Every structure is written in C-alpha cells, then in structure tokens.
Chain A
Amino acid sequence: QVQLVESGGGVVQPGRSLRLSCAASGFTFSIFAMHWVRQAPGKGLEWVAVISYDGNNKYYPDSVKGRFTVSRDNSQNTLYLRMSSLRPEDTAVYYCVRDLGEVWGQGTLVTVSS
C-alpha cells in the first residue's frame, strides 16, 4: 500500500546536525513533489521544506532557510532532510508528506536539548 516511513529522529544537542530520511513505497515516488512538515509538542503544523519531483527546485520558510536542506534519491525512493545548527525551537515531530497532502508518514521526533 501507499506508505511513507520516516526515520533518523532522536535527541541532539543545540548547534549539532541531524539527517532525517523518509522511505516511500506503493506509488511512483519520482513524479511527486515532497514536503516536510513539523509539529512542536502541543502545537500546530509548520511547513518546513518542499522539493520538486526531480529535485531541481527547493523551497523553505524563513525559520529554517540556510539551516535545513531537503534532498531526494528517486532511485531509492527516499526523501531526506538535513538539519544543521539545530535550536531548541526545532524540537518537533517531523512528517514527510506527499504533495497535495494525501499521504503522510507517521512522523519522527527530533528533540534538541543539552
């Protein structure tokens, strides 16, 4: 079935880096733009990155621009989010989402704390 599975979350110190992965299955990954959306504990949803189907176009909100990098490997049906210079306010569950919002992963928790 159509599925997205995130991995790579954990506890990381402020200022350090972390890379999240999202494995896609059950659909043609290479034809869809893909997004990352995060949700801080008890808070709402915040969009943090999008990458075009071919990886040539990437966009970010100001809150993460210059610190987060989205990428993809269509041969491996995998989406990535490289997060650097992490801050406590980046603590959240990170979801990968297929464009148009029909398919979400289960999320992976990132905790930024010393």
Chain B
Amino acid sequence: EIVMTQSPATLSVSPGERATLSCRASQSVGITLAWYQQKPGQAPRLLIYSASTRATGIPARFSGSGSGTEFNLTISSLQSEDFALYFCQQYKNWPLWTFGQGTKVEIK
C-alpha cells in the first residue's frame, strides 16, 4: 500500500502571501498525484491532477509540482476563499486511491 504523508498539518499564512504545501509518497507514484481543496460542510474539489495540471476553472494562483515521491502545491497569493483544507491523493495503483491526511491553511 502506498502511504501519502502531508506536511505541515496546519499552515498559518497572511492574505496575499505565498503558501507551499507538501506531500510525500512512500514509493514512487510518477505524476499520478492530485490535489483537492475542501471547505467546511462541502465536498472536496479537484484542483490539480497529473501533479501539475489545473482542473477546469481553477485559478492560475494554484500550481502543482513534483514527481516520484515529493510533491508541492503552491498558492501564489492567498485569497480569503483559499483558507481551507487541502488533500493530496495518489492514483498510481488505479483504480485504488490513497489520500494524505490533509493540511489546513488558516489565517495568520
């Protein structure tokens, strides 16, 4: 089983600042990595797939990078609506999925 580990658990950032979230896989997943955003009381929303491709309608301030076992999600200038929970997910062993435990981005 591929284990996904996200860091940090909580990231405190001021509006307008840059945020970088990390996700590590226990073994190589190539670029079969997605990122999701979840706000309280809502379902997750796909942000990034194939490690770096933005999903439909996702603003350009969201970018993904990495391959193999190390991945980052960067939010270039945090807007108020970006304070939320973020999950990474691997689908190397498609159709089996594994999620990271999440990073909460909160207002500093």
Contact of B55 among A52, A59, A102 (CB under 8 A): A102
Does residue B64 face the partner (Cβ distance < 8 Å to A)?
no
Bound Cα distance A10, B97 (Å): 26
Determine whether B19 belongs to the interface, using a CB cutoff of 8 Å to chain A: no
- Give the number of residues in A that approach B within 8 Å (Cβ atoms): 21
Nearest residue, chain A, Cβ from B93: A59
B99 touches A45 (CB 8 A): yes
Verify B55–A47 contact, CB threshold 8 A. no
Residues of B within 8 A of A72 (CB): none
The chain B residue with its CB closest to the CB of A61 is B96
Query: Contacts A101-B34, A101-B36, A102-B55 known; A47 to B96 CB distance under 8 Å?
Result: yes
Pair A47/B99 contact, Cβ less than 8 Å: yes
The 0/1 profile, CB within 8 Å of A marked 1, for residues 13-49 of chain B is 0000000000000000000001010000011111001
Contact in complex: A95, B43 (CB < 8 Å): yes
Cβ-based interface call for B59 (8 A): no
A45 vs B98: C-alpha distance when bound (angstroms) = 9
Contact indicator B44/A104 (Cβ below 8 Å): yes
Give the nearest-CB partner of A58 in chain B: B95
| Also in contact, A105 and B43, with CB within 8 A (given A33-B95, A35-B97) | yes
The answer on a CB contact under 8 Å between A35 and B95 is yes
Q: Residue B66 at the A interface, CB < 8 A?
A: no
Assembled-state Cα–Cα distance A85/B90 (Å): 29
The residues of A with any CB-CB pair to B shorter than 8 Å are: 33, 35, 37, 44-47, 50, 52, 57, 59, 61, 95, 99-102, 104-107
Extra contacts besides A35-B95, A106-B42 (6): CB < 8 Å: A37-B97, A44-B100, A45-B36, A47-B96, A95-B43, A100-B46
> 7 A-B pairs, CB-CB below 8 angstroms?
A47-B99, A50-B96, A50-B97, A95-B44, A101-B36, A101-B49, A105-B43
